[in-house]
Each structure stands twice: as C-alpha cells, then as structure tokens.
Structure 1
C-alpha cells in the first residue's frame, strides 16, 4: 500500500521540479513512510510514498519496464499477481522485482487499458509512457483506493489525497457550495465531485488518459444486476459463496508482513476471521473497538468470538472524550465534512493495529451492501408492503422489529410510524424510494445554512442511474444506491482507507473481491433478504463456522456518539472557539444564530433528534475542513535528506542547432 502523486503538462510547461514532488509526497507521508520515489521527465513528474508489504527489498518505486519506455507509481495490491506474472513471463516479459507493481506495468504493456479487468485487487495506478507522451490513471472497481486530480498551472495534477494536490504551488483550495449541499443530503458528494472546487475524484471503475493536452475519462467497469440464470438450489448457491469467500480470503493473506483482522463481533468480520483460522495455518491476531457508552458497545460479542477462535485479541477503548479529542485529526485525514463521528473510533483502531506492529488487516466491509444486510433494505421492503395496504396498523408495527432503539416504535406508536415512514409511501415507482427518507432526514440539517451560502449552492444534482435501472428488482435498486454512494463515497473513503492509512495500515476486504461481487449481484433477491432476515445466504454459509449467537443476532449498525463527544465534562477545548458566532460568520457556511441555538440546546443536555446529531457533526467537521484546508492550509513538511528516496531523471533532449 502506498500513496501516489504527480503532474503532467497539458500544454507548454516548465520542467518538473523535484522540490514540488517532495512537497506533495511530504503531505501524504503517512500513506507510505517506508520509502519514497521520484520520477522526472521534462514537464512530467511522478512520486510514490511506499508502505512496503510485498517484496520488501526490491519493490521501491518508480518502476520501469525492460526498456524504460513505461514508468509506474502504484497504490494498492493485486492479489492475483503471482498467477498473472506466470502468464506475462510466458509472453516474454522479464521482471526485475518480485512485487505486484511490476506485474501491473507489464500487464499494461501487454494488454493496454484492458489489463484492468484481469486484476483482482484494490488499486490506484499512474503510468507514464515516454514514447507516446501519455499519462494513464486508473482506479479499482469500487473505489477502495482513492485518486484525485485537478488542473493548475497548465498541468493535470493528481494524488492519492487532496492535501497532496493542494501542496502543488499552482493549485489553491476553494470550497464548492454545491458539494456541501450534497454532503448534507447523501452523507457524501456525488462522484466525481469533491468538497473542493476544481478537484475531482477519479470515479471508481474508471481510467483517465492525458494525451496531447486532452483529458479523456472512460469507465472500464460498471456495476449491474443481471437477471438470475437457471434456478439453483440453496445448497448450490451456499456452496459457491463458501468457496468464493475462502479463496478471496486466502488471496488477501498474501503478504511479506504479518496480517491481522478486525473483529467487530458481527457476522461479517467473524466469518472472515473464522475462515482464516479454519483454512490457513496463519497465526492470527484480531483487533476490535470497545465503547465506554453501552449504547454503542459490542465488546462482549467480540470477546466471545476471539475466545471461540483462539485468536490473540487486542482492544482499543473509545470514550466520548477520545472521539471529541481526535476529531480534528480525523477530519484532516478524511478531507471532507462528515455527518457522523463513526470514522473516529476506526482511526483509534488503526492506531492500535500500528502500535502492535501490523501493517495489514482483513475486514468485513461489503457484506452488508452486496448481501443486503442493512436495516434500510428491510425498511424499504416494509414500506412497499405497507403501501399496498396503507390502512394497515399491523404493517406499521413492523418498523419496531428493525428499529427497536427508536423511541415510540416498540410501543406500537402508529402515529409516529405513520408520520415518519409514511412520507412518500405511495410513490413506489420513485427511483430513490429506498433512500428518500434517509436523504430527507439528513437534509433537514440544511436549516443551519446561512442565507448567503444557500444563494451560492446552485442547482441540486441527483444520483446517476444506469441503463436498465428501472427494470431491476426494488432490492437491487436499493443496493445500487447504497453501493455507489454510501459504500464507495463514504464508507470506503472517510471511514476505511483514510482512517487506516492515517496510521499507515492497509485494509483488505474479501467481500469486495470482484468474483464475490459478481456472484452476489446475480443472486435472486430472496437469497439475500428473505422476508426480514438480512444476509440470508451468508448466514447459511457461516453456520458451519460460527455459533448461533453470532449468526442469528440482529444486525447492529456501527455508530459512534456525537452529542456526548462534544458536550459535557469531556468537551474538547477547541470546540467553543470553533463554533463561536464569529468563527461561524467568518467561514460563511452556517447561520451563526441558528448554530448558537443548537449549541445551547446540546450543551444543556436537552432532548435532541438524530438530525440535531447529524447537524452537529456536519457543522463541526465543515468548520474544521475550512480551518485546516482553506483559511490556513499547512501541509506536512516536504521530504528531506533523511528520507529514503529513489530519484529517476530523464536527461533533457539535446538542443538542435
């Protein structure tokens, strides 16, 4: 795992300067503190910060092909690289290293952009062709690894994180009002937009080619839900998922350093951990979060699974004070406003992993999205069921089964359910039917926007819907929205990659193996969500390895405290000034009076809503992003002589008389 940076001229430009690449790499040192590499060729520059996991001795980047016509910097892992290497060597390619980075380069040399479909991995790629004078950028199918780009000073500038791009002297930070409006609806921006005007995300499953000053962006993979094939038995489907998960896990254990695993106490991470213990000889250490607040804590289930599997288990404790204290650092790594504090405990967890001298962990992300584990999927099913009989009181009571912690629902409060879940009930043909309530609830926090900011927002954008979407099963429509927005834009970014790499830790995700994804997307909906039983097929598979108290326990969403993290005895010192009327007015996003009223309400401990919590997290994180990146950007120090840096410089062509 690594970080990549670079730039490529879109027209006439001055020669690339090593100092610029040193500054850009210094900004993402945390992504790869082991080694660094710089490549200079006229106005083009590439840089790499390496977290060495495979081929520790000879894998320093940049790396070239045999004749030096192609050069690569790479962030990620290609888990099937040994098999690809054999194929490429049989085709005549010769290797100078044992790392997967070189396999990516030879595959590109052999197959061009079509090589991407051969990779089983998570990656962000930058390849410079010295003959064609082209820059090729690419990103994995689901956006596990980040990659951003912007234009500045006549060049396309790119980096694994936005702070690296902002460290380039020709790129300045400016907020995009429409982006914040999207975050206060969808919990994230809609790709390729970012919070920063002019800085774009390379969308998941896309590649980009810079040639002759032109930038061409194209998809190389698109997610869909094809019609299921011939009817298969439950046993056959379970057997195939079982084998896919075993192989996906086995591949993700490939490393030249120890590999650990996150153990949340839920079905997904427990399944992956059990596979490691059952089908490999790897000694295993597991890591989990314990919350001091019992409303969020799952440590009992975690400890039970660790004992059952015989792992060496480590726990980090997350208090309200911890979450508030580290939140500025969390936002610095996330580089975006957030409507939740959930990334904070994940940042604490990766810190524990690093202190135990681990660089790699396997986790359970993806199972809820591709096998229908979230309550949102059940909620949408109940609403459609209720819409067929809107006068039914029994159908309203079903919400209490999936949301037992929401006051009023468990007592059969029909008026509460009718008011909240009944909004847009009959509009079952709406493309966003499954997510409309969530998005509407989040958007209520926009009441804190200042009038001047609202005027700058511009027209709202809607999610992009693929061809054929309207003909998909309602569950598949809901899954698409959850995967393309929540998973790719929020979960894998703010809560996963950034929080792990903030402590130089690489996460690996067996459920996101493209073969598992393709299999799950071909499954009939009833094998994923059967009635109100989530992840039905996965539960059938996991019974072989897990006790009933894990396979049969209800899904508990991963959440973290918000109000109590910022107010009360453990309130962080920075908060009062950050949310002062003067600071709010100076940034300009929010109405100082409205924010002051919210702060007074929460400080006094009055009853508050989920929207109040989301508004608080959104306001605090937005103010922090403004302070850290717009009004006072200070990137980490540039690389210096004490760093292990490999520098490759292409000599300038001789001048013609």
Structure 2
C-alpha cells in the first residue's frame, strides 16, 4: 500500500510539484518517497513497504527505462504471474509485485489488468507511445482521482495531493452533496470537489496528447432470472465456496511483514480470522473496537472468537467522546461529508494496529454484498411479498422478524409497520425498489438545505441519476440480485471501501485486505441461486454452511448485527467539543451558505435536549457537521468563526 501522484503535460518545475503532492499524502507511505520526471510526464510515490522490502522502491522503471510505474496496492497472484513470465524468458531484477505489472504491460499492453488478482491503482508512463495509463481494481478498493488544467492532466491517490496543483481550488460540488444526502456517497466519477473526478472501479484510462479515453475491463454480472442456475447442488456449491475463500485468504497472507486481522465479533471477520489463524506463522494478532453502549458493543463475541482461535487480541475502546475527538481528522481523511460516524472508530482501530507495529490486516468487508447479508435484502423480500399478498396475516410477523436488534418495532401496530416499510404494493417495478425506503428516508435530510442550495439543485434527482446508470441487463435479474448490485457497485466502493475502508486505514499507514472481494469469489457468488444466499429470512445461508466448522456455534448462528456507532449523541451533552457549537452556529452555517441556520439551530437544540432516536435527525446532524468540517478543512470557510469561538 502506498500513495502516488503525477501529471501528463508540460509542467514548470515538475519535480517540485511532485514533492508537494507526495508530501500531502505521506501518511499513505511513511517508509520512503521517490520521483520520476520525463519531458511531459511525472510520477511521485510515497511507499508503505510490504512486499519486496529492500528492492521495491518506486516509481519503478523497466530495464529499458521506457516504462515507469507508480503503484498503490497489492497484486496477490504476483508469484504465479512471475513464474509464468519467467517460463517465457522474462528476467526479474526485484522480488516485488510492482515489477510483475511492468513485464505484463510490456507483453500485453493495458489488457494485462485482466490477469491481476489484487487491490490496486496505478499510473504507468509508456515512453514509447508517450501516454499515461491509469487503472483501478475491479471492486474499487484502492482510490484514484484526477483533474485537468487546460492541456495538463493531474492524478493522485487522494484529492489533497491534487490541491497542491496551482489553479486547483477546493470547491464543493452541490450535486455531489445532494447525492451524499440521498445515496450516502457521490456517484462516481463525481467527487465532493467540483472538477475533481474519480476513476471508476474496473476502469482503464489512457491519457495522451489531445485525448483522454476511458473504458471498463470487467463488470459485475448476474444470470437472467429465467436461466437455470449453474449451481444446483448446495453441498457442491458450499465446497467450491470454501475452496475459493480459503485460497483468497491464502494469497492475501502474502507479505514480507506480519499480517493481522480485524475481528468485529460478527460472522465475516470471524471467518477470515479463522482461516488466517491457520496460515499465520507464529500466530495471528486480532484487533477490535469496543463501545460503551450495549446496543453497539460486540466485545463478548470478539473475545469468544479470539479465545477459540488462540489469537493475541487487542481492542480499543470508543465512547461518544472519543468519536467527537477524532471526527475533524476523520473528515480530513474521508475528503467528503458523511452521514454516519461509523468511520471514526475504524480510524481509532487502525491507529491501534499501527501502535502494534503491524502494517497489514485482513477484514471481512464484502461478504454482506456478495452473499446477501444486509437487512435491506430481507426487508425488500418482505416488502415485495406483502405488496403482492396484501391480505396475508403473516405480514406483521414478517416485519417484526426483520430487525431483532430494534426491540421498539415489536410493539408497533401492523398498520404502522406496513407504512414504515412501505409495503403498500406500490413501486414493485421500480428498479430501485429494494432501496427506495432508504433513499427516501435519507433524502429527508435535505429539508435542512438552504434556499439557495435548493434553487441550485432544482429539478435534479440523485436517485433518478442512479437508476439511469444501471446496466441494460439489470431488469432481467432476480430482485435479490438487483439489490445486491446496487450495494456492490455503488455503496461498497462509494462509502464502505472508501470512507470506512481505505481512508481510515491509510490515515495511519495500514493496508486492509479483503478476501471476500477476490474477484473469483465475487463472480462465483453472483452466479449462485438467490435461495442459497438468502434462504427465507436467513442471510448468508451458504456462507454459514460452508464455514460452520470454523466457528463457535454462538458466532456461526448469530444473526447479522450491522456495524454502527453513536451518531448525534457523540457531539452533545456534558463535555461536548467546542468545535461542534462553532461549526453549527448561525455565523458558520450562514457563511457556508449550504444549510438553513434556523433549522440547524433547532436540530442542534433538539439533539442536545435528548438523544435523537430517528434516522433522519441523526443523519442530518452528522451530515451537516461533517459538511461544515469539510468546508473548514479544505476551503477555509468557517475556520475563523471556529477559532473565534
């Protein structure tokens, strides 16, 4: 894992610019820095050394000096690829995975990315053809951003590096803000910064004089619902799943430094930790977050799993005050407003890993998306059933089974529950049917937008744009697969892998690795019949079956409990941080111009009197505060007000 930046075009004092860009993302690669300049191109690199410790310096050139690469991430199948290349007469000077990409590109051109099993983003200068090749991994684990200034093209692992380029200003994109306050994240390639773009997952970009072209090299596809499934025998499918997941974990244990594992206490991280524990020479170290509040804390399950595996376990406590203490830094690293505080505990967790002198951890992200683990999948199934069976007497029972960790729902009337879940039979043909309640509920936070911002966004519908981006085959997929696609292609790269994943880990120079996002496993899971993933209302059925021997029964049978952290209550009450009042005060809100000062004041007062219980108020509070912190961090707006307070 590393960070890089660079440019294509004629740039005055390119090396000085590269040094500034690289310094801005030095947290991504604290071990060493390197630079490369050519007549019309430059690359800067900040390295976190994990593979090829002594000879993996970057930017790295091939033997001819005509190909030079800056690379962020890991190629997990580099050992096999290197042996294949050696068999064809290729000679290697280093033991790094970076050199493998150079040889593959020399042999195949940009199509080489189809052979890479990894989490990566890279920029490769092809001096022969005078072009810059940018690429990003299939699932969007590693970030890559770009912008243009006239004929000059700039790119980097984080936006803060691009802000070192003369003429690139930090200005909030109002459409991106609308998307965040509807969809939780901008729709790529849009970012929170106006005129700064993100290379989409599974994409290649070719930059050369006079042209920039982009194409996708992989897509997430599901079978037509009318086509008989390829996997009909559940036992055989479970065995294949186990073999794929084991191998995905095995190759992600490759490193020249120790590899640890996050352990949340849930099914997914317990599985990856169990597999890794059998592959870790000298034993596995595991890391967890604990919470003061019982509704968020999973420490009992974490400790049970750690004892079962015999790991050396460490945890970091995270209370409401801890979240408020780190939240401004969290926003500086997410580089976008967010609606939940969930990234903050993960920021503290990666700090714990760094204190333990580790650089790499496995994590369980991706399992919920590919094996249908989220409650939203079950909710959509129940809503669809109730919409088609309006007279069914089991409707209230189904509603109450959805969220066992929300006991208040059990006391509600059948009419309230039907209204809450939107199960009135409308919208069954809506391509966003599965997510419509979430989208509508989140969009309610826009009631706090200022009149000027509403006028700017008049006529724009973020959900409509999302629907327009869906592939042509989407309508032919099973409803569960449609819902899975929305999670895997939008929320996963747009929020989970960025704000909660790469950004929080790399803030402390930690590389997260995701066995469940091995593209072989993703493709396998996509081809499974829906009932193997969501059996009735039992999520991740086949994953549980395939891994039941790895886990204590209490973990293996445990229903999904989503990872959550205290939201608005982290910022109010005794001991509230001074910056909160300053950022939400009328002066700062008015200066930002994005929100209604009176409405924000009422929300702040309401949340200060008693903890917000509803999603809208919690999301609005965190969203408004994070937007104000974003403005202060990147544009300077509100800083003077905050300091004065």
Normalised TM-score (structure 2): 0.96
Match of 2:111 among 103, 110, 114: 114
Aligned to 2:81: 84
Residue 547 of structure 1 and its aligned partner are, at CA, apart by 1.4
More displaced 10-residue stretch of structure 1: 333-342 or 452-461 = 452-461
Residue 230 of structure 1 and its aligned partner are, at CA, apart by 3.9
Aligned to 2:642: none
Aligned to 1:61: 58
Residue 278 of structure 1 and its aligned partner are, at CA, apart by 3.2
Q: Quote the Cα distance in structure 2 between the aligned partners of 1:359 and 1:87.
A: 29
Q: Quote the Cα distance in structure 1 between the aligned partners of 2:594 and 2:638.
A: 18
Change (3 A) 1:149 1:607: closer
Residue 596 of structure 1 and its aligned partner are, at CA, apart by 0.3
Q: Does 1:94 align with 2:70?
A: no
Q: Does 1:612 align with 2:609?
A: no
Q: Quote the Cα distance in structure 1 between the aligned partners of 2:144 and 2:477.
A: 30
Q: Does 1:209 align with 2:206?
A: yes
Gaps of 5+ in 1: 635-657
Aligned to 2:594: 589
- 2:588 alignment partner, SS class: helix
Change (3 A) 1:289 1:607: closer
Q: Is the 8 A contact 2:289 2:315 kept in 1?
A: yes
Change (3 A) 1:203 1:144: same
More displaced 10-residue stretch of structure 1: 402-411 or 588-597 = 402-411
Q: Is the 8 A contact 1:423 1:437 kept in 2?
A: no
Residue 83 of structure 1 and its aligned partner are, at CA, apart by 0.8
Change (3 A) 1:230 1:334: closer
Q: Quote the Cα distance in structure 1 between the aligned partners of 2:589 and 2:41.
A: 41
Q: Quote the Cα distance in structure 2 between the aligned partners of 1:281 and 1:244.
A: 21
Cα shift readout 1:247-269 (whole Å, capped 9, x = no counterpart): 10010000000100000111101
Cα shift readout 1:392-431 (whole Å, capped 9, x = no counterpart): 3521331211213446421252122122112663321110
Alignment of 1:450-465 (within 5 A): 450-457=450-457, 459-461=460-462, 462-463=465-466, 464-465=469-470
Normalised TM-score (structure 1): 0.94
Cα shift readout 1:313-360 (whole Å, capped 9, x = no counterpart): 000000100001100000000000001000000000000000000000
Cα shift readout 1:16-72 (whole Å, capped 9, x = no counterpart): 521111110111000001011111112311111000000111111011111111100
Aligned CA RMSD, in angstroms, stands at 1.5
Q: Quote the Cα distance in structure 2 between the aligned partners of 1:570 and 1:370.
A: 41
- 2:8 alignment partner, SS class: strand
- 1:468 alignment partner, SS class: helix
Aligned to 2:278: 278
Aligned to 2:628: 623
Aligned to 1:397: 397
Structure (1/2) with the larger helix percentage: 2
Q: Quote the Cα distance in structure 2 between the aligned partners of 1:550 and 1:623.
A: 40
More displaced 10-residue stretch of structure 1: 270-279 or 326-335 = 270-279
Residue 633 of structure 1 and its aligned partner are, at CA, apart by 12
Match of 2:535 among 512, 530, 552: 530
Q: Quote the Cα distance in structure 2 between the aligned partners of 1:396 and 1:46.
A: 60
Q: Quote the Cα distance in structure 2 between the aligned partners of 1:70 and 1:241.
A: 39
Q: Is the 8 A contact 1:153 1:170 kept in 2?
A: no
- 1:533 alignment partner, SS class: coil
Residue 154 of structure 1 and its aligned partner are, at CA, apart by 2.9
Q: Quote the Cα distance in structure 2 between the aligned partners of 1:382 and 1:193.
A: 34
Residue 280 of structure 1 and its aligned partner are, at CA, apart by 5.1
Residue 15 of structure 1 and its aligned partner are, at CA, apart by 4.3
Cα shift readout 1:529-560 (whole Å, capped 9, x = no counterpart): 00000000010012111111111111000000
Q: Quote the Cα distance in structure 1 between the aligned partners of 2:408 and 2:579.
A: 36
Aligned to 2:37: 40
Q: Is the 8 A contact 2:45 2:70 kept in 1?
A: yes
Q: Is the 8 A contact 1:81 1:100 kept in 2?
A: yes
Change (3 A) 1:591 1:230: closer
More displaced 10-residue stretch of structure 1: 562-571 or 263-272 = 562-571
Alignment of 1:273-312 (within 5 A): 273-279=273-279, 281-312=281-312
Gaps of 5+ in 2: 640-645
Change (3 A) 1:209 1:266: same
Q: Is the 8 A contact 1:581 1:592 kept in 2?
A: yes
Q: Is the 8 A contact 1:209 1:215 kept in 2?
A: yes
Q: Is the 8 A contact 1:497 1:506 kept in 2?
A: yes
Aligned to 2:252: 252
Cα shift readout 1:493-542 (whole Å, capped 9, x = no counterpart): 00000000000000000000011001000100000000000000010012
Residue 294 of structure 1 and its aligned partner are, at CA, apart by 1.2
Q: Quote the Cα distance in structure 2 between the aligned partners of 1:435 and 1:307.
A: 38
Q: Is the 8 A contact 2:202 2:219 kept in 1?
A: yes
Aligned length: 631
Following TM superposition, the consecutive aligned residue runs of length 4 or more in structure 1 with deviations greater than 6 angstroms are none
More displaced 10-residue stretch of structure 1: 76-85 or 459-468 = 459-468
- 1:398 alignment partner, SS class: helix
Aligned to 2:435: 435
Alignment of 1:22-421 (within 5 A): 22-227=19-224, 229-279=229-279, 281-406=281-406, 408-421=408-421
Q: Quote the Cα distance in structure 1 between the aligned partners of 2:135 and 2:611.
A: 49
Q: Is the 8 A contact 2:387 2:423 kept in 1?
A: no
Residue 232 of structure 1 and its aligned partner are, at CA, apart by 2.9
Aligned to 1:647: none
Aligned to 2:643: none
Aligned to 1:495: 500
Q: Quote the Cα distance in structure 2 between the aligned partners of 1:160 and 1:575.
A: 30
More displaced 10-residue stretch of structure 1: 299-308 or 84-93 = 84-93
Q: Is the 8 A contact 2:569 2:611 kept in 1?
A: no
Q: Does 1:579 align with 2:580?
A: no
More displaced 10-residue stretch of structure 1: 43-52 or 530-539 = 43-52
Cα shift readout 1:591-621 (whole Å, capped 9, x = no counterpart): 0000000001011116542110000010010
Q: Is the 8 A contact 1:178 1:460 kept in 2?
A: no
- 1:379 alignment partner, SS class: helix
Q: Quote the Cα distance in structure 1 between the aligned partners of 2:64 and 2:600.
A: 61
Q: Quote the Cα distance in structure 1 between the aligned partners of 2:223 and 2:116.
A: 22
Q: Is the 8 A contact 1:397 1:409 kept in 2?
A: no
Q: Quote the Cα distance in structure 1 between the aligned partners of 2:106 and 2:625.
A: 47
Q: Quote the Cα distance in structure 2 between the aligned partners of 1:299 and 1:585.
A: 42
- 2:581 alignment partner, SS class: helix
Q: Quote the Cα distance in structure 1 between the aligned partners of 2:368 and 2:575.
A: 33
- 2:549 alignment partner, SS class: coil
